[in-house]
Structure 1
Amino acid sequence: MEISYLKSFRDTPSLGDLNLKNESISVASIVNLQVLYNSGRPFPIALRELLFLAGAFCLVLDYGDAESQQELQDEAREWLRNENRSISRSFFVIEVINGGDQFLFVYLDEGEDPYVNRVSFSKSISIQWNITTGKTLSQLCDSRMERIKRGESMY
């Protein structure tokens, strides 16, 4: 797969000091996810690149305890149902925070490098439950990778 948006992410596939590396999923798996969560339409390019480079394990995103991207998506949708919330547009979860207290996602109809949004179920946070982070998927991945390279927390 040609990489257009996540080039710097592609160029840092591992962090030797921590003995961690991004782990991909297959193109066939990505196509299956597109069928399940986007009515068979292609995902935004940046999301396809992320899954191709690091869909099984990612240095800069936390997939939680989910053993697959499908499990991650299904868990997040279950959390929404449990909180009597819904997201009416097609979306894809890219990170779980605090064991499901929050998650990051992208809408699948916002162009090839969509903005990252956050859902929070925390009762202590008095903000809107679904807000944008102000960063595109590639910007989020790049900024977190740079922070990790400097020895900082990705958050």
Structure 2
Amino acid sequence: MTHLAIIGGSDAGISAALRARELDPTTDVTVVVADEYPNFSICGIPYYFTGEVAPWRSLAHRTSADLEATGMTLRLNTYATGIDVTGQRLEVRTPAGATEQIAYDELIVGTGALPSRVGITGLDRLTPADGVHVIHSMGDTFALHRDLTPGSLSPDPPFWGGWVE
């Protein structure tokens, strides 16, 4: 059996995982996702803020349960920190902060693009605490929503109930 490891839980990584399982259902697929929101439409975030897309969960193409039902394994809130090409191992940092190795036969890196900083000096050092938001993930979306919602003291948006299947 082939073990395919994929870094990235947005459209590129998830599409690759789904296609691999479609071509060979015996392929063991592990997808490493840096946050807890696999297969979300990042391009839809502006429409969430305009109110054209609601609730925020509708930005998901598929739920985690839908994806796992295809036979893939999702490693949510897990960061890829290194690749050992010779040993065919992916080093990851788990949600608990531990370092683990994931063996693979094939590796796909489908992490998508980074937000452009357009050459603005100092932008890389500014954060939502400074009142500056760079929107690239659902976590970024929730941080901006908190800042735009008057009187919001909660660490998560008022509609947040956790991404539970």
Question: What is the TM-score of this pair, normalised by structure 2?
Answer: 0.21
Structure number with the bigger relative contact order (C-alpha 8 A, sep ≥ 6) is 2
